[in-house]
Amino acid sequence: MGSRSFANMVCGGLRWLSMSRRRSVRLHQIGEYCWEIPPSSGMRVPGRIFASERMIRDIKTDKSLEQVVNVAYLPGIVGASLAMPDIHWGYGFPIGGVAATDPAKGGVISPGGVGYDINCGVRVLRTELRKEDILGHVPRLMDALFEAVPAGIGSSNAIKSLSVDEMYKLLSEGAEYVVRDCGMGSEEDLKHTEENGCLVDADPSHVSDRAIERGRRQLGTLGSGNHFLEVGIADRIFDSRSAATLGVDKGTVCVLIHCGSRGLGYQVCDDYLSVMNRAVIKYGIELPDRQLCCAPIESNEGTAYLRAMACAANYAWANRQAITHLARQCFMETFSIGPKDLGMVLIYDVCHNVAKFEEHTVDGQLRTLCVHRKGATRAFPAGDLRIPTSLRAVGQPVLVPGDMGRFSYVLTGAPGALQHTFGSTCHGAGRVMSRAQAKRESRGRDLFGEMAERGVTVRAASRRTVAEEMPYAYKNVADVVNVMAGAGVSDKVFRLKPVGVIKG
Amino acid sequence: MTASGYREIDHTADLGFDLWADSMPSLFAEAVLALSEFCYERTSVLWVEERILEVRGTDPEEQLVRWLQETYMQLESGLWLTAAATDVVLKGEVVKGTLHGEPIDPARHTLHSEIKAITYHGLKIVREHGLWRTTVVVDV
């Protein structure tokens, strides 16, 4: 069997297309920042990757391009199997992958195209504090935040455990529940959250008891891995008009929160992978990777997953809202100021692991598509009616965390996003080094000291997590956002330099 | 190469480990060692208590995923650390075995990383040169 051919294999009653060894993937450059994999074998559409020439050389070193090819097998996929420049090897979908499927043409929903951490996402808040207000106080501030926001393995009990009835409300209402019933935030927070912090299709009756149980104690917690809470300072403004609209100028202290739906979301994904494993047999769907298992959107299995996924997405928004409340309290206590002087306002909250129904124009026709974004961020341009009126003049903010030692970026969606990427852009720096390799690199090094030399105070539940997340393990996020700007997909507004980070 | 073992592999975003053993039960026991080693300092966990674990799966891959999921849930939900698994038996759709370990003691146990899930990505249990082998990718 050749290296690019497949063999049909029957595995325990399931039918998967499996490869004998690593495939080579043909790649053509079709634009300065765009590369295409022409359709072959079972691919229904081409693969299309946004990257610079230098980045594409790195991308070729792992299996992420094979995953772009695999996604192109999904029934009902429209346009192309897309990848953003922070693409790296994931499971099923590549991280940085985008796929739109058409429910009217047998399009499928794949939990692997959302990921286990449903609605993993980022929010950024600005404050009235200036750089000079916090320098000298950062270690004390980070201690307070580390104490208030549980992080690390099994982190729980940031706030009281919720009852099952309370969980049902939260899963139905999302961030609004913690604002209204728990007093954690304001209506303004909700307006500046993607979908106002609630997917309305949520139906908790499709969420397992175990998932609900896992969620009861974890509201307001970060978890571990690449999740973090970061305090940063706007050190460079690229678009002063847009930055002013977002309430930021050079020296503004901001807070970034990156986390998701915790154990509840992981359990929803696990539960429905089992359902989808059976659905692929029932509907005769052939796929090259079991992790891509899926069901038609309009099937019972697809509908049930989407309703459960919406619950997990709502949990994630509630979680980031609860953490926001805890962070506001820490800031006010640390600096002995009230909410007005702190002025910690949510700029925006975006999810980067989700599937949502959106209207997009394809070949001149407006179609309702299910857009899977796995490690990709929605990026609607200025004027789009789907973003809040207060932001419509500048476009939807896009929050792109870098590594914990360099920079993070705030962007806005640009018109090219709707033309090229179903309104999507990058979500982060993207790893360039495996976790195992990063740990090897860290041996014998004073990681916390190295970060302090960069001017970043790190508080972490685990030294190993810090080792895996060191800056050298990531691409330079500047390269990633520059590709998307060059492709006309999103525009740079301002840059944040981290001064304090909490890791799990 | 020893008759059974595990080795962490380079996976860009997540955790991956190769497993090998001369029998399927041993492969499942090795998987518990590999997962535990990633999540915490496994060698500090004493064999104080036993827990019987039983899972079902329609094929060996699904059985392995569920076996590891349930092992991890001992930690997340039960705050209980697993040192090793013994007496693993695979019969039809059922996998049964005994976990040995103890409740978390923050004074003695160093925790490393949370996992989100055991994935099916590329998961295939094969027999090669007299050994059972597989590679498991874990979402972290």
pLDDT tens per residue, range A279-314: 999 999 999 998 899 999 999 999 999 999 999 999
Q: Which residues pair with A367 in a beta bridge?
A: A360
Q: Which of A153, A155, A431 has its CB closest to that of B112?
A: A153
What's the rounded Cα separation, in Å, for the pair A174 and A378? 19
Give SS3 for A361: strand
Q: Is the interface score ipTM higher than 0.85?
A: yes
Instruction: Report yes or no: B109 at the A interface, CB cutoff 8 Å.
Output: no
- Give Cβ neighbours of residue A335 (< 8 Å, ≥ 6 apart): A129, A133, A134, A137, A342
Local structure of residue A35 (DSSP, 8 states): E
Residues of B in Cβ contact (< 8 Å) with A151? none
Residues 6+ apart with CB under 8 A from A214: A262, A263, A264, A266, A267, B76, B77
Q: Which residues contact A332 (CB under 8 A, 6 or more apart)?
A: A338, A339, A342
CB contact A428 to B (< 8 Å): no
- Which tens digit of pLDDT belongs to each residue from A14-67? 334 444 345 678 899 999 999 999 999 899 999 999 999 999 998 998 889 999
Chain B contact present for A58, CB below 8 A: no
Reply yes or no on whether the pLDDT at A10 is more than 70: no
Which DSSP state fits A290? G
Q: Check if B2 contacts A (Cβ < 8 Å).
A: no
Name every chain B residue with its beta carbon within 8 A of the beta carbon of A116: 116-117, 119, 139
For residue B41, the chain A residue with the least C-alpha distance is A464
| Chain A residue nearest residue B17, CA to CA | A436
pLDDT of residue B1: 60
Q: Which of residues 458-477 of A touch B (CB under 8 A)?
A: 461-462, 464-465, 468
- Residue of A89, A208, A226, A475 to mutate, interface with B, max B Cβ within 10 Å: A89
**pLDDT average, residue stretch A151-176:** 92
pLDDT above 80 for A13: no
Residue of B nearest to A277 (CA): B62
Q: Which residues pair with B131 in a beta bridge?
A: B128
- Distance, CA of A381 to CA of A393 (rounded, Å): 9
Asked if B58 and A13 come within 8 Å (Cβ–Cβ), the reply is yes
Q: How far apart are the first and last CA of chain B?
A: 28
The pLDDT tens digits of the residues spanning A407-456 come to: 999 999 999 999 999 999 999 998 888 888 999 999 999 999 999 999 99
Instruction: For chain B, list residues with pLDDT below 70.
Output: 1
pLDDT at A9 over 60: no
Q: Please confirm, yes or no, whether A427 is among the known catalytic residues.
A: yes
- Classify A326 as helix, strand or coil: helix
Decide if pLDDT at A2 tops 60.
no
- Among A422, A384, A414, A419, which Cα is nearest to A489's? A414
Give the CA distances from residue B82 to residues A94, A264, B45, B73, B76, in Å, rounded to whole numbers and listed in that order. 32, 22, 7, 10, 12
User: Percent helix, strand and coil across chain A, each rounded to 5?
Assistant: 35, 30, 35
pTM summary value = 0.94
Q: How far is CA B54 from the centre of its chain?
A: 13
Structure tokens at A148: 């208030």
Q: Give yes or no for A8 touching B (CB within 8 A).
A: no
Closest by Cα among A377, A360, A355, A260 to A303: A355
Q: Which two tokens stand for residue A391?
A: 């932001």
Q: Is the pLDDT of residue A479 over 80?
A: yes
Smallest Cβ–Cβ distance between B112 and the set A89, A290, A462 belongs to A462
pLDDT of residue A4: 28
Contacts of A293 in chain B (CB under 8 A): 120
The per-residue pLDDT of chain A, averaged, comes to 93
Set of chain A residues whose Cβ sits within 8 Å of the Cβ of B75:
153-154
Lowest mean pLDDT among A2-16, A352-366, A436-450: A2-16
The reply to whether residue B114 touches residue A115, judged by beta carbons under 8 angstroms, is no
Touching check for B137 and chain A: CB below 8 Å? Answer: yes
The residue from A88, A227, A258, A427 that is catalytic is: A427
The three state secondary structure string of A117-168 is: CCCCEEEEEEEEEEHHHHCCCHHHHHHHHHHHCCCCCCCCCCCCCCCHHHHH
pLDDT digits (tens, 9 = 90+) for A99-127: 999 999 999 999 999 999 999 999 999 99
> CA–CA separation, B39 vs B140, rounded Å?
10
> Which of A13, A152, A433 has its CB closest to that of B59?
A13
pLDDT(A6) > 60: no
**pLDDT band (50, 70, 90) for residue A151:** very high
B116:A266 CB<8 A: yes
3-state secondary structure of A76: coil
Q: Is the CB of residue A10 less than 8 Å away from at least one CB of chain B?
A: no
**What are φ and ψ of residue A457, in 5° steps?**
-85, 120
Among B12, B61, B119, whose Cβ lies nearest the Cβ of A12? Answer: B61
Gap from B112 CA to chain A (nearest CA, Å): 5
Using CB atoms within 10 Å of the CB of residue A384, give its burial: 0 to 12 exposed, 13 to 18 middle, 19+ buried: middle
Query: Which carries the bigger pLDDT value, residue A224 or residue A184?
Result: A184
Count Cβ neighbours within 10 Å for each residue of A25-56 and write b for 16 or more, e otherwise. bebeeeeebbbbbeeeeebebbbbbbbbeebb
Q: Which amino acid is at B16?
A: G
| Pairwise CB contact (< 8 Å): A89 & B120 | no
Query: Residue A122 pairs with which residues in a beta bridge?
Result: A258, A350
In whole angstroms, what is the distance from residue B138 CA to residue B140 CA? 6
DSSP string, A205-253: GGS-HHHHHHHHT-TT---STT-EEEEEEEEEES-HHHHHHTT--TTEE
Q: How far apart are CA A23 and CA A20, in angstroms?
A: 9
Question: How far is CA A114 from each of CA A13, A338, A354, A435, rounded to the nearest angstrom?
Answer: 25, 39, 5, 22
Q: Minimal Cα–Cα distance from B113 to chain A, Å?
A: 5
Q: So what's the pLDDT on residue B15? A: 86
Q: CB of A214 within 8 Å of any CB in chain B?
A: yes
**What percentage of chain A reaches a pLDDT higher than 70?**
95
Dihedrals phi, psi of A107, to nearest 5 degrees:
-60, 150
| CB-based contact, A436 to chain B, within 8 Å | yes
